Structure 1
Amino acid sequence: METIPSLKTSTEARAAYMDTEVIPQKPVPLWRNHDYLLLWLGQAVSSLGTRFTQFAFPLLIVGLTHSIAAAGLAYSLQQLPYVLLSLPAGVLVDRWPRKRLMLLCSFCLMGTVASIPLVLFLASDQLRLPLLYTIAVGLGVISVFYELAELAALAWVVPKNHLTTAIAQNEFVYGSSALLGPALGSLLFSIARLLPFVTDALSYLILLCSLLSIRSPMQDERRAERRHMLVEVREGLSWLWSQQVTRSVVLIASYLSFTITASVLIVLAIVQQQHIPSVFYGLIVAAGGVGNLLGVVLCPPFRRRVRFGRALGCVLLVFVLLWPLYGFITTPLLLGAIFTGIAIADSIGAILMSSYRLAVVPDALQGRVGGVYRLILFSILTIGPAALGLSLEHLGILATVGIMWSGLILITGGLFVNRHMRQATLPYM
Structure 2
Amino acid sequence: MTRDRTFAAVVRNRNFFVLWMAQILSQTAQNGIHFVQIVLIETLTRSTAHMAVMILSFSLPAVLLSSVAGIAVDRLSKKVVMLGSNGLRVFTVVTYIVVLDRLGGWSLLMVIYAVTFISSAIGQFFAPAEATTIPLLVGEERLLTANALFNLTLIGTQVVGLVIVAPLMVKVLGIKGAFSTVALMYLVASLLVSRIPRDKPRLVVESGASMLKTVWEELREGWRYVASKRPILIALSQLTTATTLLLMMAMIAPGYATRVLGMLPEDAILVFAPAGVGMLANTFLVGRFGYRFRREVMSSLGFSAMVITLFGFGLAGFDLPLWSTIPKVSTVMLLSLMLGAEMSLVVIPSETLLQEKSPPELRGRVIAVYFLLANLVAIPIMLVVGTLADQIGIARVLMGVVVILMVIAATTTYQAFRLRRVGGGIFDADAAIEYYSHSGDE
Short-chain TM bin: 0.7 to 0.9
Q: Which runs of 5+ in 1 are unaligned?
A: 1-25
Cα distance in 2 for partners of 1:89, 1:115 equals 24
Question: What is residue 147 of structure 1 aligned with on the other side?
Answer: 127
Question: What is residue 413 of structure 1 aligned with on the other side?
Answer: 414
Question: What is residue 237 of structure 1 aligned with on the other side?
Answer: 220
- Using the TM superposition, give the Cα deviation of residue 292 of structure 1 relative to its aligned residue in structure 2, in angstroms: 1.2
Change in Cα spacing, 1:365 to 1:108, as seen in structure 2 (3 Å) is: farther
Paired residue secondary structure (2:124): helix
Which stretch shifts more, 383-392 or 77-86? 383-392
Matches within 5 A, 1:55-94: 55-58=35-38, 68=47, 73-94=53-74
Paired residue secondary structure (1:418): helix
Change in Cα spacing, 1:356 to 1:31, as seen in structure 2 (3 Å) is: farther
Question: What is residue 196 of structure 2 aligned with on the other side?
Answer: 214
Identity of aligned residues (%): 19
Change in Cα spacing, 1:159 to 1:354, as seen in structure 2 (3 Å) is: farther
Cα distance in 2 for partners of 1:103, 1:47 equals 14
Aligned-pair RMSD on alpha carbons?
4.3
Q: Which residue, 234, 237, 240 being the options, matches 1:254?
A: 240
Answering whether residue 316 of structure 2 is matched by residue 315 of structure 1, we say no
- Using the TM superposition, give the Cα deviation of residue 106 of structure 1 relative to its aligned residue in structure 2, in angstroms: 1.6
Q: Which residue, 167, 175, 187 being the options, matches 1:205?
A: 187
TM-score normalised to the size of structure 2? 0.71
2:25·2:189 contact (CA, 8 Å) conserved in 1? yes
Which stretch shifts more, 119-128 or 336-345? 119-128
Q: Which residue, 149, 156, 167 being the options, matches 2:151?
A: 167
Answering whether residue 362 of structure 2 is matched by residue 375 of structure 1, we say no
2:235·2:350 contact (CA, 8 Å) conserved in 1? yes
1:148·1:371 contact (CA, 8 Å) conserved in 2? no
- Using the TM superposition, give the Cα deviation of residue 205 of structure 1 relative to its aligned residue in structure 2, in angstroms: 1.8
- Using the TM superposition, give the Cα deviation of residue 252 of structure 1 relative to its aligned residue in structure 2, in angstroms: 2.5
Change in Cα spacing, 1:106 to 1:262, as seen in structure 2 (3 Å) is: closer
Question: What is residue 14 of structure 1 aligned with on the other side?
Answer: none
- Using the TM superposition, give the Cα deviation of residue 234 of structure 1 relative to its aligned residue in structure 2, in angstroms: 1.1
Which stretch shifts more, 364-373 or 88-97? 364-373
Question: What is residue 113 of structure 2 aligned with on the other side?
Answer: 133
Paired residue secondary structure (2:125): helix
Cα distance in 2 for partners of 1:176, 1:404 equals 25
Which stretch shifts more, 198-207 or 246-255? 246-255
Question: What is residue 440 of structure 2 aligned with on the other side?
Answer: none
Cα distance in 2 for partners of 1:206, 1:114 equals 15
Matches within 5 A, 1:221-370: 224=204, 226=206, 227-243=210-226, 244=229, 245-261=231-247, 276-278=261-263, 283-303=270-290, 305-306=291-292, 310-324=294-308, 326-327=310-311, 330=316, 332=328, 333-355=330-352, 357=354, 369-370=366-367
- Using the TM superposition, give the Cα deviation of residue 299 of structure 1 relative to its aligned residue in structure 2, in angstroms: 2.7
Cα distance in 1 for partners of 2:82, 2:18 equals 13
Which stretch shifts more, 54-63 or 239-248? 54-63
Change in Cα spacing, 1:325 to 1:230, as seen in structure 2 (3 Å) is: same
- Using the TM superposition, give the Cα deviation of residue 377 of structure 1 relative to its aligned residue in structure 2, in angstroms: 0.6
Q: Which amino acid aligns with 1:44?
A: I
Change in Cα spacing, 1:371 to 1:44, as seen in structure 2 (3 Å) is: same
Cα distance in 2 for partners of 1:291, 1:276 equals 21
Paired residue secondary structure (1:159): helix
Cα distance in 1 for partners of 2:357, 2:143 equals 12
Question: What is residue 173 of structure 2 aligned with on the other side?
Answer: 188
Which stretch shifts more, 229-238 or 355-364? 355-364
Question: What is residue 5 of structure 1 aligned with on the other side?
Answer: none
- Using the TM superposition, give the Cα deviation of residue 49 of structure 1 relative to its aligned residue in structure 2, in angstroms: 3.7
Question: What is residue 405 of structure 2 aligned with on the other side?
Answer: 404
1:236·1:368 contact (CA, 8 Å) conserved in 2? yes
Paired residue secondary structure (1:213): coil
1:288·1:343 contact (CA, 8 Å) conserved in 2? yes
Matches within 5 A, 1:98-113: 98-113=78-93
Q: Which amino acid aligns with 1:188?
A: L
Cα distance in 1 for partners of 2:105, 2:309 equals 49
Q: Residue by residue, what CA displacement relative to the aligned partner does 1:131-163 show, whole Å, maximum 9, x if unpaired?
A: 333211101211222234344555875622564
- Using the TM superposition, give the Cα deviation of residue 32 of structure 1 relative to its aligned residue in structure 2, in angstroms: 2.1
Q: How many residues align?
A: 393
- Using the TM superposition, give the Cα deviation of residue 179 of structure 1 relative to its aligned residue in structure 2, in angstroms: 0.9
1:240·1:247 contact (CA, 8 Å) conserved in 2? no
2:299·2:349 contact (CA, 8 Å) conserved in 1? no
Q: Which amino acid aligns with 2:143?
A: P
TM-score normalised to the size of structure 1? 0.73
Q: Which amino acid aligns with 1:293?
A: L
